[in-house]
A = this chain, B = another copy of it.
Amino acid sequence: MTEDLVLGRQVCFALYAASRALTDVYRPILDEHGLTYPQYLVLLVLWEHDDDALTVSALGAALRLDSGTLSPLLKRLEAAGLVVRTRSAADERRVEVGLTGRGRALRERMGDVPRRVGSATGLTEAELVFLHGILTRVTETIHRHKEQ
């Protein structure tokens, strides 16, 4: 019983530590392109949707981040010339975030990033699949829990 509790908190700490360790791996690699990890995540979402501009809310839903985090982040990406933000004509409340030429071009230049990061984890493909499954389930369980 007590052991469960100790283990439970160790898993939480392990998650927290692993997450920070992984961004440590990303940092020097992304720094070559002047990006932070959350900025890179935003670009990944935009690259996936190719030429469709996304609203700030849509980006937030994909990354589970709110406008308080995204607004200043997107402003920095715009200042870097990677994205453009335009008020939607149809709905003046919305802001559409689209890639610039530079933002699209960056995709090719960063093609090797996942491989470089993946090799640093030292995990097999099977372990990555398993890890992904558990983590996604945890995240979803928590968010389902929260909405009730």
- Report A's interface with B, CB cutoff 8 A: 4-26, 37, 41, 44, 63-64, 111, 114-115, 117-118, 120-123, 125, 127-132, 134-139, 141-143, 145-146
Chain B residues closer than 8 Å to A4, beta-carbon distance? 114-115, 118, 125
Chain B residues closer than 8 Å to A132, beta-carbon distance? 7, 10-11, 14
Q: A5-B115, A12-B117, A122-B145 are in contact. List 19 more A-B contacts (CB 8 A).
A: A5-B118, A7-B125, A7-B129, A8-B117, A9-B114, A11-B131, A11-B135, A12-B22, A13-B41, A15-B131, A16-B37, A16-B41, A19-B19, A20-B64, A22-B142, A120-B141, A120-B145, A123-B141, A131-B134
Chain B residues closer than 8 Å to A129, beta-carbon distance? 7
> Is the beta-carbon distance between B122 and A21 smaller than 8 angstroms?
no
Nearest-neighbor residue (CB-CB) of A6 within chain B: B114
Nearest-neighbor residue (CB-CB) of A9 within chain B: B114
Chain B residues closer than 8 Å to A111, beta-carbon distance? 5
Chain B residues closer than 8 Å to A64, beta-carbon distance? 17, 20-21
Majority-rule SS of A interface residues? helix
Copies of this protein chain in the complex: 2
**Bound-state Cα–Cα, A138 to B19, Å:** 10
**Bound-state Cα–Cα, A127 to B24, Å:** 26
Nearest-neighbor residue (CB-CB) of A10 within chain B: B132
- Minimum CB–CB distance from A9 to chain B (whole Å) comes to 5
9 A–B contacts from the bound complex (CB under 8 Å): A5-B111, A7-B125, A15-B22, A15-B131, A16-B23, A18-B135, A21-B138, A25-B145, A123-B141
